[in-house]
Structure 1
Amino acid sequence: MRLCSIASGSSGNCIYIGSEEHHILIDAGISGKRVEAGLNSLELTGKDLDGILLTHEHSDHIKGLGVLSRKYGVPIYTTPGTAEAVKDMTNLGKIDGSLFHEIHADEDFTLGDLTISPFRISHDAAEPVAYRVACGDKKMAVATDLGVYTDYTIDHLKDLDVLLLEANHDIHMLQVGAYPYYLKQRISGDLGHLSNESAGKLLGQVLHDDMKAVFLGHLSKENNYAELAYETVKLELMLNESPYKPGDFPMWVASRDEQSECVAI
């Protein structure tokens, strides 16, 4: 089982997860050309995809959806609310309605040997979800666009081998930055994004002995940078009561511009 961030950031998100035989993307928020280049580097093409799983309808998660769906006929899995929001958008071009497959939070479904568990997230979108993906006893999850997290969120992120977790913004950079007040309130609110500090606190509650790797993702271009996210999350882990510390597991920051390490377990 493999996870690779083809792109992750406020300007575009596309995460690959797959087994030997089955392959999915979580979101397609970059150009179709970039998605294909990322797949090619993994020795795959769009024809190999079993599905694109959408978290929600914001452009940084669906930008390449129209191109990929038309070129390869890839099935699209998403909640009814997200599907309706995507279908109402005019900038994606025509997407064959038969490609959409309805899923629901807290209802598992399978694509080949991959078992996919959508779960609710707190974000200002129609019906957003994050995804936990299992293949046999291997488990991975991608959790971004979280305004807040709860015990429900923590439960869905426990006992993972690999986690890609949002560390969107530095609180101070957001507060003093150039964004208008309403946008600052949106980002830091319950329907916005996780700060670096919150990501560290959440991570501290889901680490365990068998965690293989953590990626920090969905960084804001204007209100964060990789070194700051990494060091802030490390500091939170050192300060909290978790028995696990930063050196106990590999941690990377997923880039908006470059493909990440490909973690295979």
Structure 2
Amino acid sequence: MSMHFSVLASGSTGNAIYVENEEHSFLVDAGLSGKQMEGLFQKIDRNMKDLSGIFVTHEHSDHIKGVGILARKYGLPIYANEKTWSAMSPLIGKIETEQKFVFGMETVKSFGSLSIESFGVSHDAAEPMFYVFHQGDKKLVLVTDTGYVSDRMKGIISNADSYVFESNHDVDMLRMCRYPWNIKRRILSDVGHVSNEDAAIAMSEVAGDRTKSIYLAHLSKDNNMKDLARMSVAQTLESRGLMIGESFDLYDTDPQSPTELVAI
């Protein structure tokens, strides 16, 4: 069996990732309106009626905006850890008990031949966690919304076939922007978001001989640009002996347009 994925939307305004195999299909987060999410599904030629469920990473609005409406409209199971459920329940409206599933941190749930592994990240949410999808010997890592990448995280996410990896901001752009200092401090902190350079350093430490692609995700609309992120990440990776196009390929993601649905 093969596993396919598409980064439906990624950025400050909303995040959602689609993953499927022949048996099941899942969303990780639904940070846009229900109507927007349905439009993104149409762009990758998929129907939300076929979804098996939604995995939630944390309760920030750019990750859960559409969770409630989609769960109610399509009768979808929702998976999140207990602290995230407590934090997001007032924000997403009523969810029927039979649709609510607790997925603890650093555990694995299997759906036929597809296994999903959860792991904690460092972000200013109740108990943020992201996911590794395993299909046979294939491995897809999703990791954004973290202030740094710890050694524990590196051990879990190492040597994946594909990564969706946060590359949130350019430090100089952030320092010069009009954000209040408390917001800048939060973004730069260990519970904020990783910069282009810090992301690239972490990528160089986890990418392995099976790694084929890295998607740069969750770019700040005010403090980053696709070309700048790609250039900064590529320069740092190449300084550490990893050549883009030889070691693996780098891809952009977008706040409004999905990436191509690709197989791993």
C-alpha distance after superposition, 1:159-191 (max 9, x if no partner): 211100000000000001000000000001010
In 2, the alpha carbon distance for the partners of 1:177 and 1:98 equals 46
Q: Following superposition of structure 1 onto structure 2, how do residues 74-93 of structure 1 map, counting pairs within 5 Å?
A: 74-89=76-91, 92-93=92-93
* Structure 2 partner of 1:18: 20
C-alpha distance after superposition, 1:108-137 (max 9, x if no partner): 111232100000000000011010001111
Give the partner amino acid of 1:174.
L
The alignment status of 1:6 with 2:4, answered yes or no, reads no
In 1, the alpha carbon distance for the partners of 2:21 and 2:67 equals 22
- Return the TM-score normalized by structure 1: 0.95
Give the partner amino acid of 1:61.
H
* Structure 2 partner of 1:48: 50
In 2, the alpha carbon distance for the partners of 1:151 and 1:228 equals 27
In 1, the alpha carbon distance for the partners of 2:214 and 2:80 equals 25
Quote how far apart the aligned CAs of 1:192 are: 0.3
In 1, the alpha carbon distance for the partners of 2:250 and 2:22 equals 24
Give the partner amino acid of 1:247.
G
Q: Following superposition of structure 1 onto structure 2, how do residues 221-240 of structure 1 map, counting pairs within 5 Å?
A: 221-240=221-240
The SS at the match of 1:141 is strand
In 2, the alpha carbon distance for the partners of 1:111 and 1:186 equals 37
In 2, the alpha carbon distance for the partners of 1:263 and 1:213 equals 11
* Structure 2 partner of 1:179: 179
Q: Following superposition of structure 1 onto structure 2, how do residues 115-264 of structure 1 map, counting pairs within 5 Å?
A: 115-240=115-240, 243-248=241-246, 249-264=248-263
Contact 1:204 1:237 in 2 (8 A): yes
In 2, the alpha carbon distance for the partners of 1:208 and 1:34 equals 35
In 2, the alpha carbon distance for the partners of 1:153 and 1:227 equals 27
Contact 1:234 1:246 in 2 (8 A): yes
Contact 1:50 1:111 in 2 (8 A): no
Contact 1:166 1:194 in 2 (8 A): yes
Give the partner amino acid of 1:63.
K
Q: Which moved more, 1:145-154 or 1:51-60?
A: 145-154
Quote how far apart the aligned CAs of 1:34 are: 2.0
In 2, the alpha carbon distance for the partners of 1:88 and 1:126 equals 14
The SS at the match of 1:33 is helix
In 2, the alpha carbon distance for the partners of 1:159 and 1:12 equals 27
The SS at the match of 2:245 is helix
- Return the TM-score normalized by structure 2: 0.95
Contact 2:43 2:258 in 1 (8 A): no
In 1, the alpha carbon distance for the partners of 2:49 and 2:14 equals 22
In 1, the alpha carbon distance for the partners of 2:46 and 2:259 equals 16
Quote how far apart the aligned CAs of 1:30 are: 0.8
In 1, the alpha carbon distance for the partners of 2:151 and 2:109 equals 23
Quote how far apart the aligned CAs of 1:104 are: 1.1
In 1, the alpha carbon distance for the partners of 2:76 and 2:254 equals 25
Contact 1:207 1:244 in 2 (8 A): no
Contact 2:40 2:257 in 1 (8 A): no
The SS at the match of 1:224 is coil
Quote how far apart the aligned CAs of 1:58 are: 0.1
Quote how far apart the aligned CAs of 1:204 are: 0.5
Unpaired runs of 5+ in structure 2? none
In 2, the alpha carbon distance for the partners of 1:166 and 1:111 equals 27
* Structure 2 partner of 1:34: 36
Percent identity reads: 41
